[in-house]
Structure 1
Amino acid sequence: MALDNWFQNWHPTFFQQPLHHDPIHNSTGKRLKNPTNLLPIYFSLNLLGSEHKNLKGPSKVDAHFPTEWKSKELPFHNFKDDLPGEEYDYSLPLRLSSQPNEHYSSPHVDSSTFEKSIYTKKHHNTDETYEDHHKLKALEITGPFKTWYRWKTLDFAYPSLLERSKAIAKGDFVVENNLPLGIEVYKDRIFMSMPKWKPGVPVTLAQLPRVPKEESPPLMPYPNWDWHSEKSCDLITSVFRMKTDICGRLWVLDSGKISITTEEAKQHCPPKLLIFDLETDELLDKYIFDNSFVKEDSLYSNIIVDLRQGDCHDAYAYMADVWRFGIVVFRLADHHAWRITDHLFYPDPLAASYQLHHLKFEWMDGIFGMALSPEGDFHEDRILYFHPMSSFREFYVKTSYLRSDGDHDDGDAFKIMGESRGPQGHASSSVMNQDGILFYNLVSRDSIGCWDSRKPYKRENLGVVARSRQTLVFPNDIRLDQDKKQSMWIITNRLPYYLIEGLDISRINFRVMSAYTDEAIKGTICDPNVHNKSTYLEPPIDEDCY
């Protein structure tokens, strides 16, 4: 395909980023002219991440480049990962374990009792964590992560066994074709998406209680069964990801595509954005994408929401087209939307080859992971950090540029961040917490990575908070909750196995896990208190293919 012209003029691989300045004003990257449209040439992985805003008002910490560094006492040490068959030096302690909780048990809960009443808001001591208040016990421990749910295969809370049997007989429910991909958490609920990669996926958006009642429960359709049908484009068709906001709304990005990995793949309905009220589960708003935003093979697979100062009306959604390399910006106030493209949204051919354990494959996924910097006193603007899935690099842009509905022809708006993540540095979804720590899923390394945005973006400063070849195989999505003691939530799903050779339904394939963000980074290079003599030195300006 047409990969020749745009990638030979690729940006210089490093940029100077003085310690005490906003990174936006310190780049030597040059923008290419509009590249030739590039169609996806391989099966593509569609995984993504999102942002989390500072829910408590302006940040007490400048999450970008503060003028004063604190706590210089702690020494910095290099820790080498000695897992068999791996050769990555992450320069931090890896607290890795996979320890099942043998005492975990709970009775089966019939789906008919799965009512909204289980999500009733609980009032409790604000200094007490959610886990402590509900006396939760994890199924497994993987470093700082705890496993709350796990499945060999998914099932759904049908109204009756007869309805379930009918769905199976008609091919509406094919057990092995259902795979969870996106995750979101709001108060007492966990939301999961099941895109329609293959036929036989009856529900594309579901919910679970945050307090587990059993290890592998059936999923309850959100908002109810009536919303899940391919008979009308007014209903929910195929969801990859969704995002909650502080105003109690669930923003659902419906790709409209079905049977994506089969010869019958089609754009069954136009992509649309649905906004639900999480207090009533009623639809608040809907936006159907303009035809000009839907290219051949478009796949809208990730969404993040940008609010400022708690203004629920002045909200923007950024939605990524992973296969046709664009971002659609939607402004809630007047339902106006526009599409933005840039060559940095494209996949890097040098990063198209993947290896996950024994599987080797090639994907050409474009812009995928997106994370917003927190609001703060030091910067009125927010920064969108982003990366294509098939890339080892991170990029950024001012959100003021995205939020402007004028011409988007500024050749210097989109920038390259420092060094690459190195070989097999593919990242899917990403989030940045209220303290300016970026977390991202390293899908080719069975790991969760991190970066403290106070420090230059270079491999020495890129940490790993957890890693496991058993419990963290292909961490697909990552989100942040809105608790006072904030947690990151991930879902792992072994997606390449599902797409290439099929899942082994005799083993655990899917997990929902969480970790407190402050505890996860403690003692790693992502901890603001950890540094060495070269931590704050900018990387040299040199060629860095990996």
Structure 2
Amino acid sequence: MVAANSGNWFQSWGPPSFITDQQPIYSPLPLRNVSSPSNYDFNYQPLVQSSPAYGPNSLLTYMLALSVAKPKPRYYTGSEGIRIETTGPFKTWYYWKTLDFAYPTEEDRQIAILKEEFIPKNNLPLGVEVFKHRIFVSMPKWKPGVPATLAVIPRIPRESSPNLVPYPNWDWHRTDTCESITSVFRVAADTCGRLWVLDSGLINVTIKPKQICPPKILVFDLKTDELLFKHVLPDEFIKEDSLYSNIIVDVRHDCENVHAYLADVWRFGIVVFSLARMKSWRITDHLFFPEPLAAAYKVHNLNFEWTDGIFGMALSPYSRYETDRILYFHPMSSFREFYVKTSVICNETGWSEIKNAFRVMGQSRGKSGHVSASRIDRNGIMFYNLVTRDSVGCWDSRKPYKRSNLGLVAQDEETLVFPNDLKIDQEKRQSVWVLSNKLPFYLYEGLDHDKINFRVLSAYVDEAVKNTICDPKITGYDTFVDYQGEDDCY
């Protein structure tokens, strides 16, 4: 593992001081009204009944959730006649064997295939975001033949495996100019009706990475789909082999005093961008590096090694009663979670002078505790993808971060093979969205295109945590136990 420079690595930890058991429900930031086109159905309602009511069997339910049993998915027919697949509380809204795109004409599509501008087997969805009536999907240019790196589909499905519509349009996906969108890993929608697109500028990532354009942030107005502004990262932030692969947006009480945090997964840094100042700065810390013991992965029968640094990020809920937020983060190749106050990293010149500002969260998740994406809902419940366990996990941030407080909301060896991205939408009743994509098999073995390879799933957050240790109704007054032995080395 990465060694700490000072202090005790296995710190005794409770939730940050302003997150207590006595704190009221977090006050969400009011949403702006964003009109939706009439050709989309905005009303998003569950198509199945709720989970069983909370009751005295909650402990049994929790123990079953932690078991290794992998229930087979169930199916039912939705209102549009679409076959809906369920995995615990999750419903699969979309699935694909191979991605395809909505070309203007079939002739255009065939020409693109002939010129190898579109190679279907090389396209893989990596990122997902949901805002109002639309779902956004990103396709990084891992290999040649990816015609559009960002696309959109309706939130309410009309078909199970639709063609992807390039966002905001085909003109933005030209390959002859850096004014277009080059290669996107993740996007983020904020509460002000804007889509933040992190363009890595990197192509052929799995063959011979080539930085053909500088990394940049593009921000679109989701009412008009017009570009509002862009910010190109300074040359000094682009290290050799840098890969900017994740973004999270920090909006508080207004839409101008906003910060975005960008993760450089291969060169172990965070770039902080201030919208009010239209300026960015890069921060580093030893906790951004991968842990050697976590560099070995096993997904089903596939073994591989990744030395990926800081990747997943999640923000504590905004509260009008607090002036600060917590940024939780972890390297991809790590079994641990870390945190820092946003007031620290938003201080361009002073962040490096604050000793021990970046800190370790309690206990390790244990062996095979690799997590890709994570997000926190308005009530302070963190959801995260366990990529080597075919699972989605959870943690109630009011409870100490230790294994007995880390719950499991879904697990399946078919529908959740490498759950890669995860987002929580902004609806009054929030849902957690997951994209699973079999990424390691795409990279090392190739995918079987006679089988379903990619899925977009969602579950209401309250149903997902019901009767698990993450349920706010299940309270405990335990404290963190300081594990000094080798039991916590993973």
Residues 77, 91 of structure 1: 8 Å contact kept? no
Q: For residue 14 of structure 1, what is the amino acid of its counterpart?
A: F
Task: Determine the C-alpha separation between the residues in 1 that align with 2:248 and 2:27.
Answer: 10
* 2:450 match: 506
Q: How much does 1:380 deviate?
A: 1.9
* 2:412 match: 468
Residues 15, 397 of structure 2: 8 Å contact kept? no
Structure 1's 146 and 419: CA in aligned 2 closer, same or farther, altered over 3 A? same
* 1:98 match: 73
Q: For residue 247 of structure 2, what is the amino acid of its counterpart?
A: I
Query: What are the ranges of 5 or more consecutive residues in structure 1 without an aligned counterpart?
Result: 25-51, 58-72, 83-89, 107-136
Alignment of 1:283 onto 2:279:
no
Task: Determine the C-alpha separation between the residues in 1 that align with 2:410 and 2:230.
Answer: 38
* 1:325 match: 268
Q: Give deviations 1:96-123, integer Å, cap 9, x for gaps.
A: 54112356765xxxxxxxxxxxxxxxxx
What aligned pairs does 1:307-386 form with structure 2 within 5 A after superposition?
307-309=251-253, 311-376=254-319, 378-386=321-329
Alignment of 1:259 onto 2:259:
no
Alignment of 1:14 onto 2:10:
yes
Alignment of 1:491 onto 2:442:
no
Q: How much does 1:74 deviate?
A: 6.1
Task: Determine the C-alpha separation between the residues in 2 that align with 1:407 and 1:188.
Answer: 41
Task: Determine the C-alpha separation between the residues in 1 that align with 2:199 and 2:78.
Answer: 40
Alignment of 1:518 onto 2:446:
no
Q: How much does 1:13 deviate?
A: 4.0
Structure 1's 81 and 163: CA in aligned 2 closer, same or farther, altered over 3 A? farther
Query: SS of 2:108's equivalent?
Result: helix
Task: Determine the C-alpha separation between the residues in 2 that align with 1:454 and 1:92.
Answer: 24
Using CA pairs under 8 Å that are at least 6 residues apart, name the structure with larger relative contact order, 1 or 2. 1
Query: Identical aligned pairs, as a percentage?
Result: 57
Residues 487, 517 of structure 1: 8 Å contact kept? yes
Alignment of 1:54 onto 2:28:
yes
Query: SS of 1:100's equivalent?
Result: strand
Residues 491, 510 of structure 1: 8 Å contact kept? yes
Structure 1's 519 and 97: CA in aligned 2 closer, same or farther, altered over 3 A? farther
Q: How much does 1:255 deviate?
A: 0.1
Query: SS of 1:139's equivalent?
Result: strand
Query: SS of 1:330's equivalent?
Result: strand
Query: SS of 2:368's equivalent?
Result: coil
What aligned pairs does 1:98-177 form with structure 2 within 5 A after superposition?
98-101=73-76, 139-177=84-122
Query: SS of 1:369's equivalent?
Result: strand
Structure 1's 99 and 146: CA in aligned 2 closer, same or farther, altered over 3 A? same
Task: Determine the C-alpha separation between the residues in 2 that align with 1:355 and 1:498.
Answer: 14
Alignment of 1:220 onto 2:165:
yes
Which stretch shifts more, 158-167 or 8-17?
A: 8-17
Task: Determine the C-alpha separation between the residues in 1 that align with 2:258 and 2:358.
Answer: 22
Q: How much does 1:15 deviate?
A: 1.8
Q: For residue 376 of structure 1, what is the amino acid of its counterpart?
A: S
Q: Give deviations 1:278-317, integer Å, cap 9, x for gaps.
A: 11111000000000000000000000000111x0111110
* 1:400 match: 343
Residues 181, 477 of structure 1: 8 Å contact kept? yes
Residues 189, 207 of structure 1: 8 Å contact kept? yes
Query: What are the ranges of 5 or more consecutive residues in structure 2 without an aligned counterpart?
Result: 21-25, 32-54
Q: Give deviations 1:427-482, integer Å, cap 9, x for gaps.
A: 00000000000000000000000000110000000000000001011111011111
* 2:129 match: 184
* 1:388 match: 331
Structure 1's 18 and 217: CA in aligned 2 closer, same or farther, altered over 3 A? closer
Q: For residue 215 of structure 2, what is the amino acid of its counterpart?
A: P
* 1:65 match: none
Alignment of 1:296 onto 2:271:
no
* 2:59 match: 77
Task: Determine the C-alpha separation between the residues in 1 that align with 2:204 and 2:77.
Answer: 39
Residues 77, 92 of structure 1: 8 Å contact kept? no
* 2:382 match: 438
Task: Determine the C-alpha separation between the residues in 2 that align with 1:19 and 1:344.
Answer: 19
Q: How much does 1:163 deviate?
A: 0.5
Query: SS of 1:101's equivalent?
Result: strand
Structure 1's 383 and 96: CA in aligned 2 closer, same or farther, altered over 3 A? farther
Q: How much does 1:408 deviate?
A: 2.5
Residues 13, 418 of structure 1: 8 Å contact kept? no
Q: Give deviations 1:33-75, integer Å, cap 9, x for gaps.
A: xxxxxxxxxxxxxxxxxxx993349xxxxxxxxxxxxxxx968
Task: Determine the C-alpha separation between the residues in 2 that align with 1:223 and 1:169.
Answer: 25
Task: Determine the C-alpha separation between the residues in 1 that align with 2:348 and 2:239.
Answer: 20
Q: Give deviations 1:77-96, integer Å, cap 9, x for gaps.
A: 366878xxxxxxx6589895
Task: Determine the C-alpha separation between the residues in 1 that align with 2:69 and 2:398.
Answer: 22
Residues 197, 258 of structure 1: 8 Å contact kept? yes
What do you get for the CA RMSD once the two structures are aligned? 2.5
Task: Determine the C-alpha separation between the residues in 1 that align with 2:453 and 2:79.
Answer: 19
Task: Determine the C-alpha separation between the residues in 2 that align with 1:314 and 1:239.
Answer: 25
Q: For residue 77 of structure 1, what is the amino acid of its counterpart?
A: L
Residues 14, 539 of structure 1: 8 Å contact kept? no
Q: For residue 484 of structure 2, what is the amino acid of its counterpart?
A: D
Q: For residue 416 of structure 1, what is the amino acid of its counterpart?
A: V
Question: How many residues are aligned here?
Answer: 460
Q: For residue 141 of structure 2, what is the amino acid of its counterpart?
A: K
Task: Determine the C-alpha separation between the residues in 2 that align with 1:161 and 1:252.
Answer: 29
Correspondent of 1:482 among 423, 426, 444 = 426
Q: How much does 1:511 deviate?
A: 0.5
Correspondent of 2:397 among 453, 457, 472 = 453
Q: Give deviations 1:487-523, integer Å, cap 9, x for gaps.
A: 0111110000000100000000000110000110000
Residues 92, 525 of structure 1: 8 Å contact kept? no
Alignment of 1:537 onto 2:482:
no
Query: SS of 1:498's equivalent?
Result: helix
Residues 369, 388 of structure 1: 8 Å contact kept? yes
TM-score w.r.t. the length of structure 1 is 0.80
